[in-house]
Structure 1
């Protein structure tokens, strides 16, 4: 690709780009799958011609599917939708869940999971060996990282019990599969920017919600032009001693992702301004901006304070948002169906 005058992205080595007569061309490469993207059809054909002269290739026409992800283009609305309908149907069929009753949230509040629910006796362990728990987790995890930020919290929780799952864990996983039945057509929508290109993040945490080690949960989501492009829900690496600390640690993780995304989008020439991250924790925002030493925060590891330097430099801003409008909330806890749907709509999610 370098010999064809493409430039490899420093931030993502699967991305190559170049300008051909002032027309940008982007090439995404994953093993032997490739997407060529450009506003000019002639530019795409020129790249195809060069590639075919050097490699054995098969042109599949307009992009409709890659890596199990469907690409649906609506030219009248000028939108692209990414979903995994056929993949979800295969997963549901594999685990005999096609005829199960659908539900409207990925995890219900009555599932209070812990390692205490794992099998302890030999008969219990032997019985659970016949349950395809790990296989099901792998299937929904690929779905989550590809197009479904709405199941990130459920997958994060359920994957913790893969070494020794119990019946309550399996029931919760089947509940998640039932949620996929009702949301099989859901996916990510990407629309034309109505105004300037903006990279916006949302971050939240749930203090000490893990029953096994009392660690908190971090959740963040990022949008570009209002559409979701990055998300995460995971346990924090330390045991936070307060809600402020857990929110501050979560903000640190969001800042790390923001720095990478900003570099990537700026590298290909789409971002000319800084990044704004919204948090519903006023105390964490104040801790980020106020460098005054305080007994109640002096124990926080110095590695989490790097966000102060980023804020001072002006590359990323941390701002307040009311909790009810923070879509990162769905990555920290079980929500009602109404609140869960509201979070998805903020992220420009296609809800069927």
Structure 2
């Protein structure tokens, strides 16, 4: 600070910092508990968690969650349990202490207390499709929803979080040139959790020189740790298609994993810091809304393909199923999309889709895969040949050298922000 600094200049600087979102969150976090209690007796010693529990019970009363009644003779009541969680901002700052009173459902037996279980879960592809639509229409999510917010407030007790920045573990950045999703916070968490914060980085998630072997005679590793690492990486694939092939290849060895498999998993983590075992084929597909990648799939087929054409045909059928689902979702947005282009680098597969005559190449293909022909006849899809060099789906089915790998991740729209 200099002697010539005016009072107004000092005030403007302070005012600008206090209006910053991170500053406001940090200031608010000072009045919240930073620890999550494990037991009720611990929560009752903290005013923040007492208030959170009172809020949960108040919402039960306002929403008429239950009706108090006498317990029937010979019946046992299902117990309840308090669950305490800290809601955090994308930078890890606690923004809310949330207490939930839940039923101890694990005490019930299927067929006696219930017949089926249903949980409403949003598909991650639906979220990406919505964000892609918002980007296409050039509007900011929730900024244009004030009317909807007021209408909901009249009927329900709810709070508005403002502009969308963090949702279901995904960080969302809305800019003038598009909407970008990432899981940077989660990446840092798993790197710290498994001790990869200070390691040498790798430029690709998997080596290209060798396939991943079964290695039945190799040294065993901790199966629980291996599965924990794979599970953490699988959750990350919701925003990182670049690691999909490597993670799924390693996931095949969760039963009795070996040291060689663990080395490959560690390479994926090092990549995040900076093979054919039988005749079953590896297939993948990715779907774009315009130039916006919204979904991708990787799967090792459960059947043995008798030819490359058959494997490609099954992959095209799986992609067609995903396309039809996206078309149905877009109907809710007022768009009736027909003749969606499906690009494939196998000419024989396109011929099979357009030709109903069974040949030696098609007689082994299961009937359930032939719905793609019906979709083509109805002009719901359109099969188009693409050159292998331009086929970005290779990113999900094999390993590459650095230059080819970087070209592919750039082609699907992955950026370093």
Query: TM-score normalised by the shorter chain: which range applies?
Result: 0.7 to 0.9
Q: Distance in 1 between matches of 2:141 and 2:216?
A: 57
Q: Which of these residues, 218, 242, 246, is aligned with residue 150 of structure 1?
A: 242
Tell me the CA shift for residue 102 of structure 1.
1.2
Aligned to 1:332: 397
Tell me the CA shift for residue 51 of structure 1.
2.4
Secondary structure, counterpart of 1:132 in structure 2: helix
Aligned to 2:145: 44
Higher relative contact order (CA 8 A, sep 6+): 1
- For these two proteins, the number of residue pairs brought into alignment is 287
Say yes or no: does 1:175 pair with 2:267.
Answer: yes
Aligned to 2:373: 308
- For the pair shown, the structure with the greater C-alpha radius of gyration is 2
Say yes or no: does 1:218 pair with 2:289.
Answer: no
Q: Distance in 1 between matches of 2:329 and 2:409?
A: 25
Q: Distance in 2 between matches of 1:274 and 1:48?
A: 37
Normalised TM-score (structure 1): 0.75
1:132-143 correspondence to structure 2 within 5 Å = 132-143=225-236
Structure showing the higher strand proportion among its residues: 1
Say yes or no: does 1:285 pair with 2:344.
Answer: no
Aligned to 1:19: none
Q: Which of these residues, 235, 246, 249, is aligned with residue 311 of structure 2?
A: 246
Normalised TM-score (structure 2): 0.64
Say yes or no: does 1:351 pair with 2:416.
Answer: yes
Say yes or no: does 1:92 pair with 2:185.
Answer: no
Q: In the alignment, is the contact (CA less than 8 A) between 1:118 and 1:164 conserved in 2?
A: no
1:151-166 correspondence to structure 2 within 5 Å = 151-166=243-258
1:235-284 Cα offsets, whole Å, 9 max, x none, are 01210011111111111111111111111123322454331000011111
Tell me the CA shift for residue 131 of structure 1.
6.5
Aligned to 2:214: 115
Q: In the alignment, is the contact (CA less than 8 A) between 1:118 and 1:165 conserved in 2?
A: no
Tell me the CA shift for residue 38 of structure 1.
6.6
Tell me the CA shift for residue 54 of structure 1.
3.2
Q: In the alignment, is the contact (CA less than 8 A) between 2:223 and 2:254 conserved in 1?
A: no
Q: Which of these residues, 232, 235, 240, is aligned with residue 300 of structure 2?
A: 235
Q: Distance in 1 between matches of 2:260 and 2:401?
A: 20
Q: Distance in 2 between matches of 1:105 and 1:131?
A: 26
Say yes or no: does 1:63 pair with 2:164.
Answer: yes
1:172-214 Cα offsets, whole Å, 9 max, x none, are 00001111111xxxxxxxxxxxxxxxxxxxxxxxxxx530x32
